[in-house]
Structure 1
């Protein structure tokens, strides 16, 4: 197996001050022709929380936990931090790695999925950062997709059980389990995965993870819905939206819901706004009991999973997984992603 001398955690990024919000959103929507008025509408969500996204602090906590776990396992690899859309930028992280003498590093993305935004765009981030660093940039190998890793499924399952315990006892027995993930345009989902797999890899992987988590918590039925869509209304995206689904559940006589943000590894802004603010308010207005499961990033098993993915590359171990949907990335059948995998039909929405 190739030798590596560092790990890079690569993520989406988020503003850390009110004055960062609009510049950050301009980075996110670069080249997509999004009008300023729309950016100002979205900025309200960030300003509701003081102009600070939780994502950077949460990623730093993950890095600390991963570094500690690596050292405990006798793996001497420093962990660097870079983002796509805000500081520390991926380009700056790779430049620092080069200055520190790093020659070959593994990249852990904060997205478990296939698809353009969840996988291919991270490869583009890596290429852009290496190009900016010049001909002596370190080699960077993105770790595989991990949507069905046993440790992540276990962390989500425990979070679901913990959230059920927060509901009034009378509403726990018949509670409806609802999984959410970031919506993407239907065209982007159709192109997700290599052409030979028939597309729709992203939504198929989300459905698989939801099925595994529901089975682990003893739910015979569950729903998969979507959140955080953006873009013009005439472009069709994956549906139903979480708030529309809450309307449907209330109309059907459901009394309570557990909402599990299966598509997110951390409680960043799209979770705390879309689910803890808008969806919770919707549920209260409908008279639905509402519990939201935590994301796995703060669970010690998440850092354990990252180190397990690193070990797959260091030791050549077989991928640990519970599902059967295809996954791609370094270490899977000795290859990287397939040719023409997840080619974007058009620029897609952000997904962390």
Structure 2
């Protein structure tokens, strides 16, 4: 990565004094009052499904008839997304790990698209006198939907409200290559590959597919800091590729025969119109082609996902599994980090580095791309369709 200029504006919106100057890394201690667990949100019953999808697609004018095309994924599971339950479990696990380390910080949970909403979480925190917040967004990578959109929502819930100028929200850095996050993928790939090899499948006949959410190509190209040459697919693709390569390297260290196992990055959950280019190839298309390549087994790794929410349960556990069965392939989908001990500990490590003002040179990261910035850079993760909206925790474009 190329160095980023330190010539930045004086103020970052709604930031703590330490972050307000716009430095890439905050290397001084900050006395945060609380943690804001920022989630995507999901329906918790059949009646919630369409209102939830309206929230997700707000401003795009999508009629309910089209939303029903996506709604059947949720309706298949009783209209309940697992994501809220997973965030409840994560909140409990974080509170326990913070207490175990004698870090006296409450955790407030708010969602972007469904109850409990971010507005309510911020209001609750402020009413308790907790006004200097450090947000953990439940998405690991750099892109509009996985980083900037959370920052825009932080700004939205403060702009022009009673909390404007009172509450500050800084954001934990993108954690795509933090050891606590990637450990679950190493363990999952190692176990799956070992099982196939022990079962008589030659290493070169096992295919590992690292799967993540597809996004519009134009958004991908604008992901991450703009003065870094990330290559095709921007920071979003580069970060996933780097993590996948690191995972396979670690697995080969644990299981030397796995060095012969082929792997690639694939995409899933495309939702845009056919006329709009999105990142490819699609996971199911690749699975369908694997027999032609001589593969007998496939390991699907949900590397873009923190927990088993709907895109994992439907697009991988249902559609990708069916594609593998249709192709005559043995299939394993590996675990997401969820509330594993290593991941929860990793989140608290990320919190501690901000509490301590840990120098960037001392921060944990698994790939050569990290550690990511604390304060997002000018022009980071532009939404081509909507342009730049006011956003917290980053320097304005």
Q: Could you say which TM-score interval applies, normalised by the shorter chain?
A: over 0.9
Gapped runs of 5+ residues in structure 1?
A: 331-335
Q: 1:312 to 1:169 in 2, by over 3 A?
A: same
Q: 1:57 to 1:133 in 2, by over 3 A?
A: farther
DSSP-derived class of the 1:235 partner: coil
Shift of 1:326: 5.2
Q: How many residues align?
A: 343
Alignment check: 8 A CA contact 1:11 1:82 kept: yes
Please state if 1:138 is matched with 2:175.
no
DSSP-derived class of the 2:36 partner: strand
Which residue of the other structure, out of 100, 114, 119, is the alignment partner of 2:142?
114
Alignment check: 8 A CA contact 2:214 2:269 kept: yes
Aligned CA RMSD, in angstroms, stands at 1.7
DSSP-derived class of the 1:197 partner: coil
Which residue of the other structure, out of 301, 311, 321, is the alignment partner of 1:280?
321
Q: 1:134 to 1:324 in 2, by over 3 A?
A: same
User: Which residue pairs with 2:51 in the alignment?
Assistant: 23
Alignment check: 8 A CA contact 2:216 2:279 kept: yes
Please state if 1:36 is matched with 2:80.
no
Please state if 1:292 is matched with 2:333.
yes
Please state if 1:171 is matched with 2:205.
no
DSSP-derived class of the 1:170 partner: coil
Give the TM-score, by structure 2 length: 0.83
DSSP-derived class of the 1:178 partner: strand
How far, CA to CA, are the matches of 1:22 and 1:256 in structure 2? 37
Q: Greater CA radius of gyration, 1 or 2?
A: 2
- Mapping for residues 75-86 of structure 1, pairs under 5 Å: 75-86=103-114
Alignment check: 8 A CA contact 2:212 2:266 kept: yes
Residue deviations 1:323-343 (CA, integer Å, cap 9, x gap):
11255332xxxxx11112112
Shift of 1:152: 1.8
How far, CA to CA, are the matches of 1:169 and 1:34 in structure 2? 48
User: Which residue pairs with 1:183 in the alignment?
Assistant: 214
How far, CA to CA, are the matches of 2:103 and 2:247 in structure 1? 31
Shift of 1:63: 1.1
How far, CA to CA, are the matches of 2:335 and 2:193 in structure 1? 11
Residue deviations 1:249-285 (CA, integer Å, cap 9, x gap):
1221210010000000000000000000001011001
User: Which residue pairs with 1:239 in the alignment?
Assistant: 280
Shift of 1:60: 1.0
Alignment check: 8 A CA contact 1:97 1:138 kept: no
Shift of 1:296: 0.5
Which residue of the other structure, out of 208, 223, 227, is the alignment partner of 1:192?
223
Which has the bigger relative contact order, CA under 8 A and spacing at least 6?
A: 2
Residue deviations 1:22-53 (CA, integer Å, cap 9, x gap):
00000000011223222001000000000000
How far, CA to CA, are the matches of 1:298 and 1:160 in structure 2? 18
How far, CA to CA, are the matches of 2:380 and 2:79 in structure 1? 36
- Mapping for residues 220-239 of structure 1, pairs under 5 Å: 220=259, 221-239=262-280
How far, CA to CA, are the matches of 2:82 and 2:96 in structure 1? 22
Alignment check: 8 A CA contact 1:191 1:342 kept: yes
Shift of 1:247: 1.1
DSSP-derived class of the 2:227 partner: helix
Shift of 1:8: 0.8
DSSP-derived class of the 1:4 partner: coil
Please state if 1:345 is matched with 2:353.
no
How far, CA to CA, are the matches of 2:42 and 2:202 in structure 1? 36
How far, CA to CA, are the matches of 1:189 and 1:237 in structure 2? 9
How far, CA to CA, are the matches of 2:127 and 2:195 in structure 1? 49
Gapped runs of 5+ residues in structure 2?
A: 1-28, 253-257, 388-397
How far, CA to CA, are the matches of 1:253 and 1:203 in structure 2? 27
Which residue of the other structure, out of 310, 317, 321, is the alignment partner of 2:351?
310
How far, CA to CA, are the matches of 1:288 and 1:133 in structure 2? 57
Residue deviations 1:108-128 (CA, integer Å, cap 9, x gap):
011111111111111111111
Residue deviations 1:50-69 (CA, integer Å, cap 9, x gap):
00000010111111111101
DSSP-derived class of the 2:145 partner: helix
Residue deviations 1:270-323 (CA, integer Å, cap 9, x gap):
000000000101100110000000101131111101100001011122321021
Shift of 1:344: 1.4
User: Which residue pairs with 2:365 in the alignment?
Assistant: 321
Which residue of the other structure, out of 201, 206, 209, is the alignment partner of 2:240?
206
